[in-house]
Structure 1
Amino acid sequence: MLKVIRRAWRYIVAALSGRLDELSDPRIQIEQAIQEAKEQHQRLTQQAAAVIGNERELEMKYARAIEEAEKLQANARQAIMLAEQASTAGDAQKAASYEDSAKAFASRLVAAETAMEDMKTMHGHAKQASAQARAAVENNAMALQKKIAERMRLLSQLDQAKMQEQLNKAMGDLTGLTPQGETPTMDQVREKIEKRYARALGEAELSSNSVEARMIEVERAAIDVEGAARLEAIKESMRRKEVE
C-alpha cells in the first residue's frame, strides 16, 4: 500500500510540474534567467573585491614592515657608532650602554625581518588570488554579455513563434480544419510534439554555459599569447636601438 501511495505521489508531482512548465511564460523565464545571472555576477564581483582588498591590505602591512626593519637597522648602526665613539673617548660605561642598545635593536630587527618575510609570503599568495579573482570576473562578464545577446535572440524567436501560431490558427479557422469534437487532429499532435522538442532545444542552449566558459578561456589564452609575443617584439626593437 505504501508503495502505491509513493508511486501516486510521484505521478502527481510530475504532472503538476509539467503543467506548471506548460503554463509558464517563456518571456518571464528568460528574464528570470538573466536576472539570476546578473545577481550571480554581482556576488562574484563582491567576492573578488574582498580578495583584492585583502591583497591591498597585506601590501600596506608589508610596506610598513619594510620601513620598520630599515628603521631598526639604522638605529642599530647608530648605536654601534656611538659605542665606538664612547670607547675611543675612554668612556667604557657609556660604550657598554650603547652596545646594549645596539644588541636590543638587532634582536628587534631579527623579529621584524621574520615578520616581514611572513608578510611577503602572504602577500604573494594574496596577489595570486587577486589575479584569479579578476580573471573570474572578466570571464563571467563576457559570459553575461553573451547571455544578454542570447536573450534578444530568444525573445525575437518567441515573438515569431507567437505570430506563426496565430497565423496557423487563423488558417485553420479559414479552412474549416479545426475539429468540432474533443479528438485532436494529427496536425495538433505534431504541433504539440514539435513545441516540446523546440522548448527542450532552447533549454539545452541555455544550459551550455560551461562550454561557453571554456571557449572564453581559450579566447583569453590566445589573446595572452599574442600579447606576450607583441611584448617580446617591442623588447627586441628596444634592444636593437640600444645597440645602434
Structure 2
Amino acid sequence: MANPFVKGWKYLMALFNSKIDEKADPKVQIQQAIEDAQRQHQALSQQAASVIGNQRQLEMKLSRQLDEVEKLNANARQAVNLADQAQAAGDTEKAIQYTNAAEAFAAQLVTAEQGVEDLKALHDQSLQAAAQAKKAVEQNAMALQAKVAERTKLLSQLEQAKMQERVSESLRSMDSTLSVPGNTPSLDAVRDKIERRYADALGSAELAQNSVSGRMMEVQQASIQMAGHSRLEQIRASMKGDALPSGGAANAPATPAANPNLDKQPPAAGQTGTAQ
C-alpha cells in the first residue's frame, strides 16, 4: 500500500508545478526550451568531437605501428643476409649470432604485426563510431534549427494573441463606456453635442446668406463672372484675328474691342444700396 504522505507530497508538487506552468510567461518558457536544446546540442557535439579525436589518435598509432613493422622486417632480412654471408665465409660463430638476431627481430615483428591487426580493428570501430557521431550531430543540428524556427512561429503567435487580447479589452471597455453611465461622457452624449453645434452653425450660415450683406456679395460675384466671360470672348476674337491671312484688314494691328461691361465697374457694396 502506498504511503499517504508520499502520495500527498507528490500531489502537492504536481499541483505546484501546474500552477507555475499556468502563471509562467510563454515567452520565457520558449526561451528556456531553446536554451535546453542548445545545451544538449553542445554536449552532443563535444562527445562527437571526442569520438572523432579517438579515431584520429588510432590512425596515428596505426601509422607508427606500420612503420615499426616495416623497420623490424627490414632488420630481420638484414640479419638473415648477414648470417648467410657469415655461414658462407665459414664463420660459424657470427652466423649463429646473426641468426639469433634475426630470430629476435622476427619475434618482435610478429608482436608488431599483431599490434597492427589490433589497431586496425579498433580503427574500424572508431570509424563507425565517428560516422555515427557525425550523423547524430547533423540530425540534432537540424532538430535545433527546427526548434528555432518553431520558436519564431510561437513568438509570432504569442504576439498575435496578446494583440487580440488588447483588442478584446478595448472592445469591452468601449461596451462598458456605452452602456454604463459614469464620470466619462458616453458617445451618444458627445454625438448629440456635435450635432447641436452643427445645426447651430447651419442656422447662422443661412441667416448670413439671407441678409443684405449676403445679397451684396452675390451681386459682386455675378458681376465678376460676367466680366470674366466678356474677357474670354475678347481673347477668342483676338485669336481669330491673328489667324487671318496677311493683307487687308489683317494688316491693321489687332485692337481688342471695347467692352462696355469693363468700363462699367461693379459698384461697391456701399454704393449699391445708394443706387437703389
The TM-score, its normalising length taken from structure 2, stands at 0.60
Coordinate RMSD, CA, aligned: 2.5
Q: Show the 5 A alignment for 1:147-166.
A: 147-166=147-166
- Secondary structure of the 1:176 match is helix
Change (3 A) 1:10 1:59: closer
In the other structure, the counterpart of 2:21 is 21
| Offset at residue 6 of structure 1 (A) | 6.4
Letter paired with 1:39: R
In the other structure, the counterpart of 1:80 is 80
| Offset at residue 82 of structure 1 (A) | 0.7
| Unpaired segments ≥5 residues, structure 1 | 181-244
Q: Show the 5 A alignment for 1:192-203.
A: none
Higher helix share: 1
- 1:56-109 deviation per Cα after TM superposition (whole angstroms, max 9, x unaligned): 111111111111111101000000111111111121111111111111111111
Report which stretch shifted further, 80-89 or 154-163: 80-89
Percent of pairs with identical residues: 52
Letter paired with 1:128: Q
Counterpart CA distance in 2 for 1:43 and 1:145 is 16
In the other structure, the counterpart of 2:92 is 92
Letter paired with 2:26: P
| Offset at residue 14 of structure 1 (A) | 3.9
Counterpart CA distance in 2 for 1:69 and 1:8 is 70
| Offset at residue 5 of structure 1 (A) | 6.2
Letter paired with 1:112: A
In the other structure, the counterpart of 2:135 is 135
Change (3 A) 1:74 1:12: closer
Counterpart CA distance in 1 for 2:48 and 2:80 is 48
- 1:130-179 deviation per Cα after TM superposition (whole angstroms, max 9, x unaligned): 000000001101111111111111101100000001111111121139xx
Whose relative contact order is higher, 1 or 2, with alpha carbons under 8 Å and at least 6 apart? Answer: 1
The TM-score, its normalising length taken from structure 1, stands at 0.68
Letter paired with 1:25: D
Letter paired with 1:60: M
Counterpart CA distance in 2 for 1:9 and 1:148 is 36
| Offset at residue 11 of structure 1 (A) | 5.0
| Unpaired segments ≥5 residues, structure 2 | 181-276
- The answer to whether structure 1 residue 45 and structure 2 residue 45 are counterparts is yes
- The answer to whether structure 1 residue 32 and structure 2 residue 28 are counterparts is no
Greater radius of gyration (CA): 2
- Secondary structure of the 2:90 match is coil
Letter paired with 2:92: A
Counterpart CA distance in 1 for 2:75 and 2:135 is 44
Change (3 A) 1:114 1:171: same
Counterpart CA distance in 1 for 2:8 and 2:104 is 82
- 1:163-220 deviation per Cα after TM superposition (whole angstroms, max 9, x unaligned): 001111111121139xx9xxxxxxxxxxxxxxxxxxxxxxxxxxxxxxxxxxxxxxxx
Change (3 A) 1:163 1:88: same
| Offset at residue 17 of structure 1 (A) | 2.5
Change (3 A) 1:98 1:156: same
Change (3 A) 1:27 1:84: same
Change (3 A) 1:60 1:173: same
In the other structure, the counterpart of 2:197 is none
| Offset at residue 12 of structure 1 (A) | 3.9
